[in-house]
Amino acid sequence: MYVTDHRDDLLDAVPNLRRYAFCIVGRQDEGDALVERVLHNILSDGVQLTGSSCSVCLFKAFNTDRSVNTACRNAAKRNSWTVEDGLHGEILSLPVRLRQILILVRTIGFSREATAEIVACPTADIAVCLNGAVDRMLQNARPHQARRRQRQEAVTREPPQNWPEGRVPRYGT
């Protein structure tokens, strides 16, 4: 099955790919240029699509393109806070692989299996990477809220069952 046979599927995947490129690189114009370059390479080379879907193959081709890797490195070198305040800046502060996994699963909506195929890692690693990426991003964005949440968890913690009657310590006071 060649690209020309699935042109409609590819065009349906392009809005998601554009959004993905923007999240990865941090600038819409650079993201669009990357998408155009990768699509041109795929269509002109007659790349054979293999895998679970055209979208997955397209994203896989996007991730393995040399120009995308260069753009990701350049985006990581930039100061993330100059791009945009909030979590988008924090997404750019993550390492590229965590950024890709987080965006593919949470923003684009790919399954963990499809994401594992795209970024070429075991499916079991996807859940670990997701949890680590979200925790790290939230911790970087709002460190005072993370500390407050830890204190609240300490206050609401149940006392151990083996404490003698009348000798239960008071947490949070």
Q: How far, in Å, are 142, 149, 172, 173 from residue 155 at the CA level?
A: 20, 10, 5, 8
Which stretch of 83-92, 93-102, 150-159 has the lowest confidence by average pLDDT? 83-92
CATH of residue 83's domain is 1.20.140.160
163 falls within a domain: no
Q: Which of 43-52, 63-72, 124-133 has the highest mean pLDDT?
A: 124-133
165 falls within a domain: no
10 falls within a domain: yes
% residues pLDDT > 70 (the chain): 47
Q: Which domain holds residue 61?
A: 3-155
Number of domains in the chain: 1
169 falls within a domain: no
78 falls within a domain: yes
129 falls within a domain: yes
